[in-house]
Amino acid sequence: MRIVLYYGGNTKGETPNYDLLMELLEFTEIDMQRVPNKGETITLYLGACRITAEVTHVFPHYCPAGNKYIQEGGWGESYGIQLDNAEVVDWY
Q: What would the pLDDT profile of 39-88 be if each residue is shown by its tens digit? A: 999 999 998 999 999 999 998 876 666 666 666 555 556 888 999 999 99
- Closest residue by Cα to residue 41 from 58, 55, 28: 55
pTM over 0.75: yes
**What number of other Cβ atoms are within 10 A of residue 66's Cβ?**
8
Residue 24 has pLDDT above 80, yes or no: yes
CB atoms within 10 A of CB 53: 23
